[in-house]
Structure formats: C-alpha cells, structure tokens
C-alpha cells in the first residue's frame, strides 16, 4: 500500500503536517506481511483555488524541487515542488520521486471544500488529476476557524483508507470535517454537493453607469468559503448544511468524462451535420 500525499496550501502548511503524522503512525502500525509506504510531493507555496491547473508547462523545460522534513513523520520522504497541486500529483503519480503510489490523499485543506468550491479547489483538483492516471484519491478539508482541529480530520482520513484501497480504481472521495473536537463531532454523513458559491463579483446595477475601460471589481467570499456562511437555503443533506450542523461529510465525486446522456444525441448529430455541410461547401 503506497500513498502519495499532496495539498494546495503548500508543503509547510500545518494541514499536510497533521496528515503526514497520521499516515506515519499508520505505516508504523503495519500488520505483519503487509507493506506500507508514503511520499509527500506538495507545492512549495500556497496554490489555493488552482483546481486542476498545471501551469504553462510549455514555457519551461523543468520544475524545481527541494527536500523538506515534517516533524513527527521522519519515515515519509517530503518534497516541495515549484508547481501547483495537480502537477505535483502527476509528478508524484508517475514515479518521478522514486515511488509509484496506489492512492493519493490531498489536504488537509484549511477551509471546507463544499458547494461550488469543489470545482475550484486545488485540494480536489489534485486527486482528479491522479484519477486521470488511474489512481483513487481522497481530498480532506476542515472548516476554517481561529484554531483549526487538523488532527480530527487526519484521524477520519486514516479510517477511510482500507475501503478506498479496496474500491475500484479512480474512486474519488471528498471528506469535509467541521472545526470541532472529537467529543463535539455529531457523526459522519454522505452529502450532496450544494450550490453555494465560493466567490462572487459585484458588477454595476442594471441600467446604471457602464463600466470604464479599466478598473477593479470587488470580490466577495460566498457561503462555501472559507468558514461557510449562510446555509439557510441548503437542504439538510447538502454538504455545507451538514458541516454547520456538526457532521463530517463524505461525498463521492467524478472528474471530467464524456456526457453519455442519450437526450444529447439529437443535439450532437445536428451539430455534426451543420459542421459537415460547412466543410463541404
């Protein structure tokens, strides 16, 4: 069992340190006859909100990396890479750092990845990139707060490992944990991804003055990030509402794939016909 650890907050972030220490203990407790190994390949700085971006790989022939050490996880080789999370996941997955993993764990992110933030999250983007190479993955995030309880999220992540190793390849799970102690966690629930926004931009009022040729648009954090705002319009089984209610949530997700909805067949055939007629004319 070989695990690649990464994140989007950077290799020196407290979340990945808590995760690495939990995985280190998991390695030390390896049953007789079983092999366990882990490797950290994470960005050298914060790359939050990068989704599955790999950057302009055509503009540079290589990426820089440096060896790091995580206190309490001396049995896990750790590298910081001058690259966003998705590229770190790809480099780690193909064996660039000497180990080819069976599974990716990304996190622990400082701030829950619920609602539409799932689409933009570098934490989630890393495991989606690994899935394109055949790996299953677990994205782990904890609700933001003044004192973030990373250790609880790390413990829950470890408890998911056996099931994830047994799951079909490319299985992706998104684990979100409220910022509470173990005694105050109400349980774990399967959750739906809500429609909560992560970022909103304010534009001119309808009928108001037109935009200038240059300027600035104010950005406002929505309900999904970083600490989860108003969830009064969410259903009880939505991810944001469950986190606010004190439950950890586990949501299966999928990366990009063909839309095989038969209802789209007519649209596709019509479009193909139009394009073909233009090519023939």
Tens digits of residue pLDDT in 109-141? 999 999 888 888 999 999 999 999 999 999 999
The Cα 31–Cα 179 span in angstroms is 32
The Cα 89–Cα 278 span in angstroms is 42
Higher pLDDT, 173 or 54: 173
Beta-ladder partners of 188: 248
What burial letters (b/e) apply to 31-40, b meaning 16+ CB within 10 Å?
Answer: eeeeebbbbb
**Residue 194 in contact with residue 159, Cβ under 8 Å?**
no
Helix (H, G, I), strand (E, B) or coil at 149: coil
Tens digits of residue pLDDT in 57-103? 788 889 999 999 999 999 999 999 999 999 999 999 999 999 999 99
For range 153-167, the mean pLDDT: 95
For range 218-226, the mean pLDDT: 63
For range 214-230, the mean pLDDT: 67
For range 10-30, the mean pLDDT: 97
Tens digits of residue pLDDT in 18-27? 999 999 999 9
What pLDDT shows up at residue 222? Answer: 62
The Cα 153–Cα 144 span in angstroms is 12
**Structure-block tokens of residue 75:** 């049995």
- Collect all residues with Cβ–Cβ distance below 8 Å to 79 and sequence separation of at least 6: 11, 39, 40, 41, 42, 65, 66, 67, 68, 97
The Cα 194–Cα 223 span in angstroms is 10
What pLDDT shows up at residue 218? Answer: 75
Going along the chain from its start, the domains and CATH numbers come out as 2-192+232-253 (3.40.1210.10)
The Cα 112–Cα 120 span in angstroms is 12
Residue 75: phi, psi to the nearest 5? -90, 10
Report pTM. Answer: 0.88
């Amino acid at each position: 069992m070989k695990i690649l650890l990464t994140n989007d907050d950077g290799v020196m972030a407290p979340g990945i340190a808590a995760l690495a220490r939990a995985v280190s203990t998991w390695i030390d407790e390896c049953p007789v006859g079983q092999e366990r190994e882990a490797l950290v390949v994470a960005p050298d700085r914060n790359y939050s909100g990068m989704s599955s971006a790999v950057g302009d790989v055509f503009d540079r022939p290589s990426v820089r990396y440096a060896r790091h050490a995580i206190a309490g996880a001396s049995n896990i080789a750790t590298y910081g890479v001058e690259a966003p999370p998705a590229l770190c996941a790809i480099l780690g997955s193909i064996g660039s750092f000497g180990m080819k993993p069976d599974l990716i764990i990304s996190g622990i992110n400082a701030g829950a990845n619920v609602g539409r933030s799932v689409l933009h999250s570098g934490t989630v983007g890393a495991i989606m990139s690994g899935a394109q190479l055949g790996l299953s993955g677990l994205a782990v995030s904890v609700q933001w707060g003044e004192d973030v309880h990373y250790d609880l999220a790390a413990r829950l992540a470890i408890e998911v490992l056996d099931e994830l190793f047994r799951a079909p390849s490319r299985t992706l799970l998104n684990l979100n944990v409220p910022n509470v102690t173990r005694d105050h966690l109400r349980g774990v629930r399967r959750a739906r991804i809500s429609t909560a926004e992560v970022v909103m931009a304010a534009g001119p009022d309808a009928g108001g003055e037109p935009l200038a040729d240059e300027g600035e648009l104010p950005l406002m954090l929505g309900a999904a990030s970083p600490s989860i705002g108003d969830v009064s319009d969410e259903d009880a089984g939505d991810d944001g509402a469950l986190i606010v209610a004190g439950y950890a949530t586990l949501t299966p997700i999928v990366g990009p794939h063909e839309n095989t909805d038969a209802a789209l067949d007519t649209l596709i055939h019509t479009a193909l016909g139009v394009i073909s007629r233009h090519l023939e004319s």
